[in-house]
């Protein structure tokens, strides 16, 4: 297997527990329970044939469920890699998420049950949310934000975050949400790449029982004129902690927003107008601003939300992600609200104050559909099933998984201890770039296999190809590709059309290359095998090895660094760093910890290497490429419990041998 194919779970060094062979031998199958199939939104297999026979007709039918100010002229204009969907149409995303439900007499329906980590609760109906969004939209205008201006959002998971995103959509000001766990530096880079005019933030949020600061990193990001595009900062008071407010720049939300008029005319946006940017890690140090536009995105997320989660009017749907990631954008906010469904939003950590927090929420709000990530399921497994067993989870009828391949053990645990062996599980494969779910069971139709994301969504043409782009026979592994365009696909990388072509469309001209390895079994089911590039998946979050390496070498004492992803029982993968220090710097456990903190400050705590190993050398090929596979083997051979390992004789030997051989790995 090529060097690149050895990153994710399925592709670890031979002999580790999650090899793809082990996965594909998982033979239990779970047909949809008959009662579930009978009532499902998608209960007719014909949906697949229909979409295949007439892709444009299929998506046009889905688009017709939305409200349009002006209908589209053309469903699709496809000049690979440039797609235009629903050209000529005009609509507004916030109108579709709010006004039309209120106009249809559903204003009293709950849009969100929100719960803060300390236990505070807020219930927001569609009518209230529409008013809140109108006020916020007028406040944004009062702060000088105009259609087309970018707005950065750096907030805790509080209702105001959803309000701010929808207010941006209402006035046609694209948002770029930066996850609250990112550092001041990461925030600054994203603000500057997007040239955001306004930052919406809060004094802080609650995490693990303590208030964490958000305003201070914003101040640090903006210090010394580092973000020249930013004119104003709008600040929500959430924790009450002390913050400094810059005169003329910073404005309290409570001073400005509540006094605004609730009525705000939604902008008539063209189908292909920019809805938002969301930065994600690629294979270089610079994150990519993924571009999503208005109509196709909303069509994609609303249709997939409805079919995959089998959404009915009386469902209480909980996507336990953070709004800061694409899962939150598509399946907490836009998809569910476009469908007029009732959601749960929870601010904090799953084990605060105790590991039963989630199950208490499920019981109290009678959650019927739960969508989460394998890393969270594995954490619950570790805490034990007794926490869920204390609660009445009988309201649950469907479970979902996203973010990384789910190992069959976690699948079965989820099925048994959370789903009471009666709930289908939808394992959904997709990415920031795809905008919406691409490979997933339809719960009333698809027989599931633990560990497989099963089959492409109707209209999605996925394939597994070899290095030359030929489809591999069933039962073999290769690279995942998508052959046909889909409405919610990324339209580009902000400001960098060349990188867009290069990253996704150059490996196989005309085919979309997502960067994942996959295998298709004899039944045509897809088994995702992890990334085939230098992107790691840590707790379902994408991290670039290059970005972490850059953060390490930005430290004065570091001469060179290499980072690899290694298997971790809880987080899926974990970053392991190999560091060569400059002359005069002394390797020590304390210094390893210091470097970990340095990475946290540069990127964010999620990027902290789990281990730092000091070495005198790095193994390189003759062409000078770091031999990451060897480093992965070395890192995998070590207990990951200790955070710093001083190079010992065997490591040094292995590295020296490899360097001396200098053989190319590919
Ligand atoms: C991985 C998150 C296997 C994959 C929505 C993809 C998955 C990357 C799955 C995107 C899944 C996501 N099975 N792998 N069900 N879901 N991935 O952009 O490697 O944060 O390319 O989007 O996560 O991560 P992103």
pLDDT at residue 642 greater than cutoff 60: no
Task: Determine if ligand 1 sits within 6 Å of the CB of residue 426.
Answer: no
Q: Are 343 and 330 in contact (CB under 8 A)?
A: no
Centre of ligand 1 to C-alpha 159, Å, is: 26
Query: Is there an atom of ligand 1 within 6 Å of 186 CB?
Result: no
Q: Which of 372, 430, 454, 482 to mutate to test the pocket of ligand 1 (most atoms within 8 A of CB)?
A: 430
Q: Where are the beta strands (DSSP E) in 19-160?
A: 74-79, 82-87, 90-91, 110-115, 121-125, 151-154
Residue 593 tokens read as 């910890």
Residue 512, ligand 1, Cβ within 6 A = no
How far is ligand 1, taken at its centre, from the CA of residue 238, in Å? 31
Q: How far apart are CA 24 and CA 428, in angstroms?
A: 18
Assess contact for 299 and 55: CB atoms under 8 A: no
Is residue 483 within 8 A of residue 461, CB to CB? The reply is: yes
Q: Is 233 exposed, middle or buried (0-12, 13-18, 19+ CB in 10 A)?
A: buried
Q: What is the DSSP string of 134-168?
A: HHHHHHHHHTT--TT--EEEE--SSHHHHHHHHHH
Q: In this predicted structure, what is the pLDDT of residue 449?
A: 96
pTM for this entry: 0.90
Question: What residue numbers does the annotated binding site for ATP cover?
Answer: 403-405, 427-432, 516, 531, 542
Torsion, Cα 222 227 229 230, to 10 degrees, reads -10
Residues in the chain: 666
Judged against a pLDDT cut of 70, whether residue 660 lies above it is answered with: no
Residues 248-254 have a mean pLDDT of 98
Calpha distance 139→471 (Å, rounded): 53
Hunting for tokens 């045509």 — which residue is that?
Answer: 524
Q: Distance, CA 434 to ligand 1 centroid (Å)? A: 10
Q: Is the CB of 400 under 6 A from ligand 1?
A: no
CA of 592 to the centre of ligand 1 (A): 30
Domains and CATH numbers, the chain: 18-92+292-532 (3.40.50.12780), 126-267 (3.40.50.980), 539-662 (3.30.300.30)
3-state helix, strand, coil split of the chain in percent (to 5) is 35, 25, 40
470 — pLDDT class (breaks 50, 70, 90): very high
What mean pLDDT do residues 83-103 have?
A: 98
| Out of 52-66, 537-551, 645-659, least confident range | 645-659
Pocket test for ligand 1, best of 429, 543, 606 (most atoms within 8 A of CB): 429
What is the predicted pLDDT for the residue at 616?
A: 82
pLDDT tens profile 200-241: 999 999 999 999 999 999 999 999 999 999 999 999 999 999
Nearest CA residue ID for atom 5, ligand 1: 431
CB 1 within 8 A of CB 478: no
Could you list the residues known to form a binding site for CoA, using ranges: 207-210, 327, 539
Confidence of residue 73 (pLDDT cuts 50, 70, 90): very high
Asked whether residue 562 carries a pLDDT value surpassing 60, the answer given is yes
In this prediction, residue 640 carries a pLDDT of 43
**Which pLDDT score is estimated for 19?**
38
Q: Give residue 572 CA to ligand 1 midpoint distance, Å.
A: 12
């Amino acid at each position: 297997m090529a060097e690149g194919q050895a990153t994710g779970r399925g592709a670890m060094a031979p002999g580790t527990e999650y090899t793809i062979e082990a996965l594909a031998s998982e033979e239990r199958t779970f047909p949809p329970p008959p009662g579930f199939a009978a009532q499902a939104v998608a209960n007719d297999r014909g949906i697949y044939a229909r979409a295949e026979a007439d892709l444009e007709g299929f998506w046009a039918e889905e688009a017709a469920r939305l409200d349009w100010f002006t209908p589209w002229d053309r469903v699709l204009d496809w000049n690979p890699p440039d797609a235009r969907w629903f050209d000529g149409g005009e609509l507004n995303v916030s109108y579709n998420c709010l006004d039309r439900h209120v106009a249809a007499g559903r204003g009293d329906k709950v849009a969100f049950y929100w719960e803060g980590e300390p236990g505070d609760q807020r219930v927001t109906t569609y009518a209230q949310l529409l008013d809140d969004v109108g006020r916020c939209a007028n406040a944004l205008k009062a702060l000088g934000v105009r259609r087309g201006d970018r707005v950065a959002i750096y907030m805790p998971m509080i209702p105001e975050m959803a309000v701010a995103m929808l207010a941006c959509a209402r006035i046609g000001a694209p948002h770029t949400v930066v996850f609250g766990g990112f550092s001041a530096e990461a925030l600054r880079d994203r603000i500057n790449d997007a040239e955001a005019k306004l930052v919406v933030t809060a004094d802080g949020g609650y995490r693990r029982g303590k208030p964490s600061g958000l305003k201070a990193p914003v101040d640090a990001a903006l210090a010394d004129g580092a973000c020249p595009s930013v004119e104003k900062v709008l600040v929500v008071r959430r924790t009450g902690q002390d913050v400094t407010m810059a005169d003329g720049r910073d404005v309290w939300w409570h001073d400005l927003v509540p006094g605004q008029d609730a009525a705000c005319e939604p902008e008539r946006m063209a189908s292909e107008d920019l809805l938002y940017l969301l930065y994600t890690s690629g294979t270089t140090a610079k994150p990519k601003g993924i571009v999503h536009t208005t109509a196709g995105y909303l069509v994609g997320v609303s249709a997939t939300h409805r079919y995959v989660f089998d959404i009915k009017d009386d469902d209480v749907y909980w996507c336990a992600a953070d709004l800061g990631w694409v899962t939150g954008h598509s399946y907490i906010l836009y998809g569910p609200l476009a469908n007029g469904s009732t959601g749960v939003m929870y601010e904090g950590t799953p084990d605060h104050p105790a590991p039963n927090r989630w199950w208490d929420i499920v019981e109290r709000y009678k959650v019927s559909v739960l969508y989460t990530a394998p890393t969270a399921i594995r954490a619950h497994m570790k805490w034990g099933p007794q926490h869920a067993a204390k609660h009445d989870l009988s309201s649950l009828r469907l479970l979902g998984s996203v973010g990384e391949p789910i190992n069959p053990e976690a699948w079965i645990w989820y099925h048994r201890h959370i789903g009471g062996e009666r709930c289908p599980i939808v394992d959904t494969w997709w990415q920031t770039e795809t905008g919406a779910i691409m490979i997933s069971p339809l719960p009333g139709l698809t027989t599931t296999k633990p560990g497989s994301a099963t089959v492409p969504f109707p209209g999605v043409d996925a394939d597994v190809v070899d290095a030359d782009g030929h489809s591999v026979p069933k039962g073999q592994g290769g690279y995942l590709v998508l052959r046909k365009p889909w409405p919610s696909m990324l339209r580009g990388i902000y400001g960098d059309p060349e990188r867009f072509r290069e990253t996704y469309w150059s490996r196989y001209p005309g085919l979309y290359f997502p960067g994942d390895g996959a295998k298709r079994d004899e039944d045509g089911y897809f088994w995702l095998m992890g990334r085939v590039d230098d992107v790691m998946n840590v707790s379902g979050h994408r991290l670039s090895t290059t970005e972490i390496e850059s953060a390490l070498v930005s430290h004065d004492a570091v001469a060179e660094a290499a980072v690899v992803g290694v298997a971790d029982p809880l987080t899926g993968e974990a970053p392991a760093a190999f560091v060569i220090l400059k002359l005069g710097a002394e390797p020590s456990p304390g210094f390893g910890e210091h470097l970990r903190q340095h990475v946290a400050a540069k990127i964010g705590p999620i990027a902290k290497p789990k281990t730092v190993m000091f070495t005198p050398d790095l193994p390189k090929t003759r062409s000078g490429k770091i031999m990451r596979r060897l480093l992965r083997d070395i890192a995998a051979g070590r207990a990951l419990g200790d955070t710093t390992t001083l190079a010992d004789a065997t490591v040094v030997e292995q590295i020296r041998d490899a360097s001396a051989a200098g053989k190319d790995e590919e």
